[in-house]
Structure 1
Amino acid sequence: MLYKGSCHCGKVAFEIEGELGGVVRCNCSICARKGALLWAVPHGSMRLVAWGDDLGKYTFGKVSIVHRFCRTCGIHPFAEDVSQGSERSAYININCLQDVDLAAIQVFDFDGRSA
C-alpha cells in the first residue's frame, strides 16, 4: 500500500510503499518528547517528494540515527539510520501519515533509554 505523509506545513513530504503492521513507541530522550510512533521500513521504500532547504537534521549520543525535521514548522516526520547499504532503515512517524487510523495500529514499547 502507498502511504503519503508530510510535516504540518507540507514543505517536507514523502511517500512510503509497504504494509503498516505495528509501530514502536520509544522512550529515549528525543522520541519521548516528540511523542512519535515509529514504523521501521527499508530506506528504499521511502521517497521524498518535497524538501528543499526545509529538511533539517538532528543527531545526538552515538549518532546512529539522524532525526529529520522541517525547519519551517518544526515537525519531525521521520528519522534515518546512518549506516550505508541495503540494510539501511527509515523510521516513519505515523502521526505524519495521511488517512491512518491510529487506534487500529498495534504499538510496541521500546526501551531506548537503556539502549
Structure 2
Amino acid sequence: MRFSVEVDLSNPITCNCSYCSKRGSILAFTPDENFVLEQGGEDLAEYRFNTKTIAHLFCQTCGMESFARGAMPDGAKMAAVNIRCLEGIELNAIEPRQIDGRSR
C-alpha cells in the first residue's frame, strides 16, 4: 500500500477504546482531499464497529491499518492516519492527546 498525505502532526491522539488501545495507533486527522491512496486499494478490507461511522481500512495481506476514513463532527470528510505508518517520523518526539473512546 502506498499513499501520500498532507497532515498536521501537532495534535495527534491515542484512544483507549477496546479496538484502538490494542492496535496502539497514534492518529492524526486531515481533510479527505489531503489524502491520496496511490497503490494497494484492491488489497484493502474494511472494518466498522460501534457507531459504524468510521471505515477502518486494513491490508488483507499484512493486517496493518494505516488509515481510516470517516467524517468530522461537523460532517466534513476526513482521513485518520496512523502516524506509525509514516516514514521519517520521530515517534519519541510525538506527544499524543489521550481520547476516552471507552466511555462513548
**Aligned equivalent of 1:78:** 67
Runs of at least 5 residues in structure 1 that lack an aligned partner in the other structure? 1-11
Matches within 5 A, 1:26-105: 26-81=15-70, 87-105=76-94
Do the aligned partners of 1:66 and 1:82 also contact (CA within 8 Å) in 2?
no
Q: What's the CA shift for 1:19?
A: 3.0
**Percent of aligned pairs sharing the same letter:** 37
Coordinate RMSD, CA, aligned:
1.8
Do the aligned partners of 1:14 and 1:48 also contact (CA within 8 Å) in 2?
yes
Q: What's the CA shift for 1:82?
A: 5.4
For normalisation by structure 1, the TM-score amounts to: 0.82
Between the aligned partners of 1:35 and 1:18, the Cα distance in structure 2 is 19
Q: Helix, strand or coil for the counterpart of 1:68?
A: strand
Q: Helix, strand or coil for the counterpart of 1:53?
A: helix
Do the aligned partners of 2:7 and 2:28 also contact (CA within 8 Å) in 1?
no
**Aligned equivalent of 1:7:** none
Between the aligned partners of 2:41 and 2:84, the Cα distance in structure 1 is 22
Between the aligned partners of 2:103 and 2:91, the Cα distance in structure 1 is 26
Between the aligned partners of 2:11 and 2:91, the Cα distance in structure 1 is 10
Question: What number of residue pairs does the alignment pair up?
Answer: 103
